Amino acid sequence: QITTVSGNEFLLQSDIDFLILDWFHAIKNAIDRLPKERSCTSRNLEFKLRRSSSIELLNSLDTESKEPKPEHRKSLIFRLNYSASDTNDRNRVKSRLKKFISRRPSLKTLQEKGLIKDQIFGSHLHLVCEHEKSTVPQFVRLCIKAVEKRGLDVDGIYRVSGNLATIQKLRFVVNQEEKLNLDDSQWEDIHVVTGALKMFFRELPEPLFPYCFFEQFVEAIKIQDNATRIKSIRSLVKKLPRPNYDTMKILFEHLKKIAAKESVNLMSTQSLGIVFGPTLLRPEKETGNMAVHMLYQNQIVELMLSEYSKIFGSEED
């Protein structure tokens, strides 16, 4: 722990003795190389390095004179206290932690007792839908409604980032199952709403386009003939689980409305593809060229927006 005369505090931590000593010597050498006029500002500097073996290194400079005396600059006090009991202490702590962890109640038990609520962010899509007895999460519907009410004409909608702290606050409110009113003044910035919606999709343990479909969608977008490509994408979409299909349909219908206002909000289908491609579909394990994957991800979203009616319409359409 380093505490400077100005009140700044820094903590450097490691379990490796020689690494701690390297840090100490590096900082000491830096202090020793300071010009005399700058060295004055280093007086009263207390430098402590702690670990389980109780290492303390104290650098004490003259506090009375305006300049540190040469003998004081070199008077570095080392107190190295090693104790065999430290190892025993650590083992006892580990043993107690293991016993505590083995006795802790499961997440399911805590949820059943109502101590931990089911989360919206970070939960599987089908679990959120089952909990709400719906096929589209209520939070997604609320966000879409809010954006269509006051965000269709906003420049850079979905591209511009909202305040992260406010987005995290909104995330907390949603996860606590508090009654959500997106018309409340604290969510006035529509970019906070769009940021939270994108975060919801990013935090799904499995993306809106399930992992097992990723390669199939990539192969479909590679098809050269446009009619065949659309037909192949449509076929894959129809095979998606119901929550994925219904959520995807309502989301893409919404994004299509965003693109229709491109002349005002400057968000084309291509721009929305760039924003939502990596958010909605990604491989389970990153292999090969990530840039190529990203290109296909963007193209898939772009195609599904530009050909929405053919992909999500009825067979008769």
pLDDT digits (tens, 9 = 90+) for 24-62: 777 877 777 777 654 444 444 444 444 433 334 434 333
* Residue-level pLDDT at 43: 41
pLDDT at 78: 37
In sequence order, which residues have a C-beta less than 8 Å from that of residue 205 and are 6 or more positions away?
Answer: 122, 123, 124
Q: Is the pTM of this model over 0.75?
A: no
Q: Is the dihedral of CA 290, 296, 299, 300 positive or negative?
A: negative
Contact by Cβ (8 Å): 281, 217 = yes
Give me the pLDDT at residue 301, please: 97
Q: Which residues of the chain have pLDDT under 50?
A: 38-84, 115, 317
∠ CA 299-303-308, rounded to 5°: 150
User: Which pLDDT score is estimated for 14?
Assistant: 67
Residue with tokens 């994108």: 198
Q: What is the CATH number of domain 125-312?
A: 1.10.555.10
Q: Which two tokens stand for residue 161?
A: 């980032």
Tokens representing residue 255 in the block: 């994004």
Domain map (residue ranges) of the chain? 2-33, 125-312
Report d(CA 317, CA 310) in Å as an integer.
7
Helices and strands, number each (H, E), in the chain:
16, 5
Distance of alpha carbon 170 from alpha carbon 160, whole angstroms = 17
Share of the chain above pLDDT 70, in %: 71
Is 194:150 a contact under the CB 8 Å cutoff?
A: no
